[in-house]
């Protein structure tokens, strides 16, 4: 059982919300990329996709780190 403090719950929920928004932005960028023919817009959506993918990776890393910290705290509580 995970025990989250209110602050951690808020942080975790915020990260999950940001991940969902980023997934939607990635889907939107893919859709826009598939529907344009202007070379400048193609480049624009390629850069947008790369940026959103990097943001997605960053957010996943943040969630994993938060989860790891919380697991360590829970293990310490259970050992006491």
**Structure confidence at residue 67 (pLDDT):** 87
Of 28, 64, 66, residue with least CA distance to 48: 28
**Whole-structure pTM value:** 0.78
Q: Which residue has the tokens 């957010």?
A: 59
User: Is residue 3 domain-resident?
Assistant: no
User: Is residue 38 domain-resident?
Assistant: yes
**Structure confidence at residue 5 (pLDDT):** 58
pLDDT band at residue 28 under the 50/70/90 scheme: very high
With a cut of 80, say whether residue 77 has pLDDT above it.
Answer: no
User: Is residue 53 domain-resident?
Assistant: yes
Segment among 5-19, 21-35, 56-70 with least mean pLDDT: 5-19
Domain count, the chain: 1
With a cut of 70, say whether residue 1 has pLDDT above it.
Answer: no
Domain span at residue 45 reads 22-69
Of 5, 49, 3, 51, residue with least CA distance to 27: 49
């Amino acid at each position: 059982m995970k025990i989250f403090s209110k602050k951690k719950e808020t942080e975790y929920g915020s990260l999950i919300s940001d991940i969902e928004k980023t997934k939607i932005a990635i889907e939107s960028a893919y859709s826009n990329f598939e529907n344009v023919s202007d070379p400048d817009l193609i480049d624009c959506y390629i850069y947008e996709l790369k940026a959103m993918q990097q943001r997605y990776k960053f957010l996943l890393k943040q969630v994993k780190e938060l989860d790891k910290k919380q697991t360590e705290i829970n293990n310490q509580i259970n050992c006491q």
